[in-house]
Structure 1
Amino acid sequence: MRRKHMKCLAGITVSTATALGLAAVPSAATGHGDHVVRPGESIQSAVDAAHPGDTIVILPGTYHESVLVTKPGLTLQGMGRRTVITPAAADGKKAANACAAGGNGICVIGAKGRTVDGVTIRALTVSGFSKSGVWASWTDELAVRKVTARSNGTWGIAQERSTRADFRRNTATGNGDAGIFIANSVSEEGGATDTGGTVVLDNSVSGNRIGVTARRVRNLVIDGNTLTGNCSGVFVVGDESKPAAGAMTVSGNRIVKNNKFCPATPRLSAIQGSGIVLTGSERTVVRSNVIRDNVGSTPLSGGILLFKSFVGALNTDNTISENLVRGNQPADLANRDTSGKGNTFVSNTCGTSVPAGMCAG
């Protein structure tokens, strides 16, 4: 069966993938096995049959299931936006796996001391799940690329307790909370997780509550993303725990018209018209972003804001420099955490600031 799948894959690599404008998927020459899933077949069955390092190629079609990955080195390779994963029909039966039981589309799940490493999810759509499109916990070097996560109840693409992820060239739209969500843990309190250099690069994020949330984490890069039509573009969240959140870079993003209104929650005030918000962060660099026309009247509205966290943690030693910040209301730059220490605003092109005098022009 595996040999037959390899032969099928060779034809797909040459013809189907070329026709769809995708890079060729790995062939038998890699030394790993390859599995092809067709409409009406089960992606989970292919994952269960795979060995570490194998590739599962998912042909165009709609697949009604949740997929749980617990093996290292697997690749789930779709064929672009025509490969769609949606929830299975509710029939009163027990959920097929833990991923489905949690309301998620694709899950990569390890355990403390036993991470699932080197998994890649590429070129497919996950849509309509009650929790997350893609959910990862206890992973290392997870890559999510060219994935569309849309209309999921909480997060589009999310990870906790994980390191060295690469989220690149994805589209996250219309999700209930964050389009892309990076956290230390969603189930317990604690100091910020060092992500080991997780990167969030060149994604298109729109129509969510928050575009990108970095919650109680350190050591990551959020760069080159386009964020529009959310309630807030980028939200860095810290608290009083140690180590503190921060030591990250938010650079080169285009953050425009995030003017959707989101009502208050038990943990957060109403949000509208927020570009970049730092709460309880330390040593974060916000540099060379274009932030325009984010307009609202909530306490978190404006272009770039420093705001004391909702448990009282202060911002310290953050640097906001060389950003183009225009047309945001009530202000382009706002330091609303005046008790914070060592925060600097340098060479930002803007029109208005609170307090006044922080704009270079």
Structure 2
Amino acid sequence: MATVINVPGDFPTITAAIAAAAPFDTIRVAPGTYNETVIVNKTIQLLGAQAGVDARTRPGTAGAESIISAVNASGTVQLTATHAVIDGFTIQNNTAGPGIVTAAAGSGYWIFSNIIRNNTFGIYLNSDTILESQVRHNFFISNNQAGAGSGNGVFSENGANFWVDENLFTGHATSSVNFAPITPGAVNAVVSNNTMITDNSIAVTNASNIKIADNLQTNSQGSAIFFGGNSSNVDIEGNAILNGVSNAVRVTTAFVGTPNTNIRMKNNTISGNAVAGLNLDTGAYAVGGTSLALDATNNYWGSPTGPAPIGTGDAVIDPDGVAVVTPFLTEPPVDVTIPQSLLTTGPIMVSSSPIQTAAVLLLNDDAVSTALFTITAYDLSTGIKVPFAVFPFNIPPQQLRYQEIAVGGTFVYELEFSIVGTSQGTVSVWNLDVNKVQILGLRLVAAEIYVLQQSFPTVD
């Protein structure tokens, strides 16, 4: 009969509890910080204090979380047994590797409701392909530590049969989800219902049989969906790709020299992307034989007149004429409501204090909606904006967050605040000296913080 083992009640460490567990046992881990590499080599459930609580809506308060932290190139948490489950943890600060690894010798892994942050990358997702592995209800935050795979939320290069669903991604330098199998082949994956805010690409290289559906990608810092070459049978359906700094969909042979084939994109809302809605490199998509033209019909391109150069919407750049974009939709098919704003303090000169701190208060004054606040700190000392710190906060309704940021190493700095999910978020900033005393004259209340961009789009 399966039993429940408690940490630290029955065993002081997670590792000791796993060693004592039998197959199908449940290990429950109390709040606290566990500085150990965790290897789940048995078919068990490993449940943190927040098991079953969607990580996308959790404040991540230290006293309420079961936190696993270890520096290990092989991963902080390693799932090596088929059907292993990890649910309800915070996994953070691995400066040498991923937060979670699933072994290529097993499958059927369940990774649910975890906050995964500040690792080299989030999850190294591998499988023997026999059973579907699921990654659901997790919050991936700025997994950008230096090293191989840096900047990916979910990265897979071995195995297949994955479902990545209903996760939140923010702050990644490379990609939110990256399928790049070493041996080209069918990944058999679905990436659905995720939210990527100020994040990076869903990237596909050397991979086939993938569905990318019903995701929200806003303010993407690269092409929201990116093809690196030699990928086929990919469906892009029902996504909202809004206000990115580059392309909504980019098709290239950047990583392998082979064109992509059989890509189909329909019923997407594509609007406000700075470069293009669809951008194909010369020679990046092959038509002929069993490969059909890139079917990009029945999408909304941000204007009822269609994509540029046909109309005034997000552009379609297609030098080889391999994409079909008409008929197009004249109104959005995807229902999206995402109030968002981008605020800035403007340049602030550091005083003569040798150590100086910017203190920030973030208030979500919305009575209903949880909102994502992201602070980005820039050094302007050389005349060029160079980011040096990013702090994301998922703040529940009518709650406050306080954050201190060391700015004494700069001559001039700027703080930018992205607020997504509410029109009722406010920010105030003041500077503290070495004794944490407010520096008179260096304080900005909410009304004094400049609005760079504010929009409350409702896509019906």
User: Contact conserved, 1:288 with 1:324, CA < 8 A, in 2?
Assistant: yes
- Check if 1:136 corresponds to 2:98: no
**2:235 alignment counterpart:** 285
Task: Give the superposition deviation at 1:103.
Answer: 4.9
Identity of aligned residues (%): 24
Judged with a 3 Å threshold, the aligned counterparts in structure 2 of structure 1 residues 60 and 337 are, in CA distance, closer, same or farther, namely: farther
User: Contact conserved, 1:173 with 1:206, CA < 8 A, in 2?
Assistant: yes
Unaligned runs of 5+ in 1: 1-30, 88-99, 110-115, 185-192, 239-244, 260-272, 296-300
**1:276 alignment counterpart:** 225
Task: Give the superposition deviation at 1:182.
Answer: 2.2
User: Contact conserved, 1:136 with 1:162, CA < 8 A, in 2?
Assistant: no
Query: In structure 2, which of residues 54, 77, 101 is the aligned counterpart of residue 106 of structure 1?
Result: 77
Secondary structure, in 3 states, of the residue corresponding to 2:201? strand
Please show how residues 293-308 of structure 1 align to structure 2 within 5 Å. 293-295=243-245, 301-308=246-253
Q: Could you tell me which amino acid in structure 1 is paired with residue 296 of structure 2?
A: F
**1:249 alignment counterpart:** 211
**Distance of 1:147 and 1:237 partners within structure 2:** 27
Secondary structure, in 3 states, of the residue corresponding to 2:262? coil
Q: Could you tell me which amino acid in structure 2 is paired with residue 250 of structure 1?
A: I
- Check if 1:227 corresponds to 2:196: yes
**Distance of 2:177 and 2:92 partners within structure 1:** 18
**Distance of 1:322 and 1:48 partners within structure 2:** 50
Task: Give the superposition deviation at 1:337.
Answer: 4.9
**1:32 alignment counterpart:** 2
Query: In structure 2, which of residues 4, 17, 22 is the aligned counterpart of residue 51 of structure 1?
Result: 22
Task: Give the superposition deviation at 1:344.
Answer: 1.7
**2:153 alignment counterpart:** 179
Q: Could you tell me which amino acid in structure 2 is paired with residue 63 of structure 1?
A: Y
Aligned residue pairs total 276
**Distance of 1:225 and 1:233 partners within structure 2:** 12
Of structures 1 and 2, the larger Rg is shown by 2
**Distance of 1:157 and 1:225 partners within structure 2:** 15
Secondary structure, in 3 states, of the residue corresponding to 1:274? coil
CA RMSD of aligned residues (A): 1.9
Task: Give the superposition deviation at 1:307.
Answer: 1.3
Judged with a 3 Å threshold, the aligned counterparts in structure 2 of structure 1 residues 151 and 162 are, in CA distance, closer, same or farther, namely: farther
Q: Map Cα deviations across residues 160-207 of structure 1 (whole Å, 9 max, x no partner).
A: 2443110000011110221112222xxxxxxxx4x23x1000000111
User: Contact conserved, 1:283 with 1:316, CA < 8 A, in 2?
Assistant: yes
Deviation beyond 6 Å, 4+ runs, structure 1: none
**Distance of 1:157 and 1:147 partners within structure 2:** 11
**1:165 alignment counterpart:** 133
**Distance of 1:258 and 1:274 partners within structure 2:** 7
Secondary structure, in 3 states, of the residue corresponding to 2:189? strand
**2:372 alignment counterpart:** none
- TM-score, length-scaled by structure 1: 0.73
Query: In structure 2, which of residues 72, 87, 95 is the aligned counterpart of residue 122 of structure 1?
Result: 87
User: Contact conserved, 2:224 with 2:248, CA < 8 A, in 1?
Assistant: yes
Q: Map Cα deviations across residues 255-313 of structure 1 (whole Å, 9 max, x no partner).
A: 11022xxxxxxxxxxxxx31111232101001110001111xxxxx3111111242211
**1:236 alignment counterpart:** 204
**Distance of 1:291 and 1:337 partners within structure 2:** 23
Judged with a 3 Å threshold, the aligned counterparts in structure 2 of structure 1 residues 213 and 36 are, in CA distance, closer, same or farther, namely: same
Q: By percentage of residues, which structure has more strand?
A: 2
- TM-score, length-scaled by structure 2: 0.57
Secondary structure, in 3 states, of the residue corresponding to 1:35? strand
- Check if 1:340 corresponds to 2:253: no
User: Contact conserved, 1:225 with 1:253, CA < 8 A, in 2?
Assistant: yes
**1:311 alignment counterpart:** 256
**2:168 alignment counterpart:** 204
